[in-house]
Structure 1
């Protein structure tokens, strides 16, 4: 029976879908850099959008907490694994997003999957309306329930409204979407979706993974930036701009209390250690007063886009901090990635199907506020040379 798997792996390789992992050890003292096989390399695809995973105050908070409390939590949240830091962090997250309650999960994927699957399963006959570009964690959370669903074209308000209009006002409905979409860098029409939810009496669940830390006056995300408070549930993560690890969901108290008591991925897993929670609390302090970091991020994004235009490099000029550089062709994008690494010491991950449609392969470039304009210009020059060689 196990003999089928070598054939399946070979099939992945033939179809250009085999995933290769490049070991790199990030360097806290040299932002945006890492070591790979003993060589010093630059990393231009990190999700550490503000560079806070390397911030000395965040690092010190984690070290001090580990010295005092140890490296593990010792159990699940209901078996000795709820520290005072967990409680404080959940209270701060709820207040940050203007919601009654927050739950911290081991990752953003788990936060989405467990909350959606538990919530949907609890509401008889609920219908879910899901954006076609939603992250896999959202998709899997919906699919797990076997509920009735409508997948509407990406950001298509007209099609969303058509689907919503098929159901009576009292029929349970849930709209699931993201604020910033990572593969295209575009943002969702949050206000308009909330208007439709209000008109058709639907709940809303927004994934703010790529907006938390990078958008809004205190970094709470796109909803805060827009002053939009009508979302029922707001999800976020610590593993991107906050620079630590974990995910969370905020929303109504009774619903998240129910999720806390029923979600298997919350109940039956060891909780994140207190040292990680204390580092997250320190990083949250920096995020909430980090408007200068957000301005620096967007200034570097503008410089990067200008350099790419000047070099004639094709990219998606979206309105977020994410810059997708288009390199169509599964083999081509891998070859360019390899050339960048071997000839220039630059690491960018090739992104291909199923993360993006075939023929739209790309790099997703990120540039933190700690990068210099000289570094950005050097990266673009290397990228242009590598693209021209393919």
Structure 2
């Protein structure tokens, strides 16, 4: 085959991707990224060209990524240890900070062991796909609104699975009852669901797990730092620590990077020894782990910070309610503002940014069902009443224009 013939055939293959991208754009599902440069000295803001823009959709729920003590911990550790580990966890990549953080996390969640991964997504995917594949004849029960990382981990394992209606205990029990008591079972669910902001009936699910002899895997991603006396999540808030496995992240309320799973020692040792996404990837820098340790200490003592967070969330809801803006009044710190219509939610986002220097990312399909488009608004504890009122007023005006 001549070089020119090969080039033509290669171009034909690559053209498929151009067509797919055009289809995304035509359907208005193409995702535009808004470059941000978060400002450590002006929390909750970013620079965009010559403008300062308020960010109202960050997962940095407590503003810890700009906390001066956390920044100082990372800078000091970088100067001492450098910017990277230079290897995977089993090849020079397990720092003293990794070991200490895993010990702290295990104790925080009252588990035997914890294992750190490069992200929350990887923590879910690798742990679930590895442990499920190791259990012969296991059946998995997954909440219908579970995060993609949970879904993909279950699918990769190849195990038999049932999807139960969201937070529906009766539906879950009807599916559990299909199997003998000695059949291995695993229930996978979340504590707080990020798109609706609602909370799972965790204790009732643990009751069903005990009744039907099932293990449980609880994703506490959106509860870590903001629920419980020391921020350990929903289980701590309920004083119910029966989850077999607890997953959490550092990239949200802790304000750094990475994810983890806490649970039985032997199982996580098996995951550590077999999960490809743990074994064959460069470990997180020690400086990031030192910053996480510092942030964890502050968050664990941050009961006042959590109380302030919920006061500001209540104020935001009151401002939205006063302007007849439709939102889901969920029992968490998340405030989903409903703006049905992919084109409309995108337009409102553009108007907010162009005219009010407010950035809030539109959420559309496939993250939510068509017709359920929304903004997932987050209100950090450092927000002022004036900023909250400004946001609500701007939202009202843009909704009227769109």
Q: Same fold (TM over 0.5)?
A: yes
1:255 aligns with 2:257: no
Secondary structure at the residue paired with 2:157? coil
1:338 aligns with 2:350: yes
1:373 aligns with 2:400: no
- 1:170-189 map, 5 Å: 170-189=182-201
Alignment equivalent of 1:226, drawn from 209, 230, 238: 238
Instruction: Give the C-alpha shift of residue 354 in structure 1.
Output: 0.6
Find the aligned partners of 1:267 and 1:324 in 2 and give their Cα distance. 38
1:204 aligns with 2:205: no
Instruction: Give the C-alpha shift of residue 14 in structure 1.
Output: 1.4
Instruction: Give the C-alpha shift of residue 37 in structure 1.
Output: 2.5
Instruction: Give the C-alpha shift of residue 38 in structure 1.
Output: 2.9
1:266-318 superposed Cα distances (whole Å, 9 cap, x missing partner)? 00000000000000000000110000010000000000000000011000000
Find the aligned partners of 1:51 and 1:4 in 2 and give their Cα distance. 42
Task: Indicate the residue corresponding to 1:349 in structure 2.
Answer: 361
Secondary structure at the residue paired with 1:144? helix
Task: Indicate the residue corresponding to 1:237 in structure 2.
Answer: 249
Secondary structure at the residue paired with 1:88? helix
Task: Indicate the residue corresponding to 1:45 in structure 2.
Answer: 57
1:94 aligns with 2:96: no
1:310-346 superposed Cα distances (whole Å, 9 cap, x missing partner)? 0110000000000000000000000000000001110
Equivalent residue pairs, number: 390
Secondary structure at the residue paired with 2:240? coil
Task: Indicate the residue corresponding to 1:302 in structure 2.
Answer: 314
Find the aligned partners of 1:201 and 1:37 in 2 and give their Cα distance. 57
Alignment equivalent of 2:37, drawn from 25, 28, 32: 25
Secondary structure at the residue paired with 2:363? coil
Secondary structure at the residue paired with 2:183? coil
Q: TM-score, normalised by structure 2?
A: 0.97
Secondary structure at the residue paired with 2:14? coil
Task: Indicate the residue corresponding to 1:10 in structure 2.
Answer: 22
Task: Indicate the residue corresponding to 1:129 in structure 2.
Answer: 141
Secondary structure at the residue paired with 1:269? coil
Find the aligned partners of 2:192 and 2:15 in 1 and give their Cα distance. 42
Secondary structure at the residue paired with 1:371? coil
Instruction: Give the C-alpha shift of residue 74 in structure 1.
Output: 1.0
What is the alpha-carbon root mean square deviation over aligned residues?
0.5
Task: Indicate the residue corresponding to 2:159 in structure 1.
Answer: 147
Task: Indicate the residue corresponding to 1:35 in structure 2.
Answer: 47
Instruction: Give the C-alpha shift of residue 36 in structure 1.
Output: 1.3
Find the aligned partners of 1:227 and 1:16 in 2 and give their Cα distance. 45
Task: Indicate the residue corresponding to 2:83 in structure 1.
Answer: 71
Find the aligned partners of 1:379 and 1:130 in 2 and give their Cα distance. 36
Task: Indicate the residue corresponding to 2:5 in structure 1.
Answer: none
Structure 1 residue ranges, 4+ long, deviating more than 6 angstroms after superposition:
none
Find the aligned partners of 1:285 and 1:346 in 2 and give their Cα distance. 32
Task: Indicate the residue corresponding to 2:123 in structure 1.
Answer: 111
Find the aligned partners of 1:228 and 1:133 in 2 and give their Cα distance. 22
Task: Indicate the residue corresponding to 1:85 in structure 2.
Answer: 97
1:138 aligns with 2:150: yes
Find the aligned partners of 2:131 and 2:123 in 1 and give their Cα distance. 12
Q: Structure 2: where are the runs of 5+ without partners?
A: 1-12
Task: Indicate the residue corresponding to 2:179 in structure 1.
Answer: 167
Moved more, 9-18 or 215-224: 9-18
Moved more, 37-46 or 314-323: 37-46
Find the aligned partners of 1:91 and 1:129 in 2 and give their Cα distance. 30
Q: Structure 1: where are the runs of 5+ without partners?
A: none
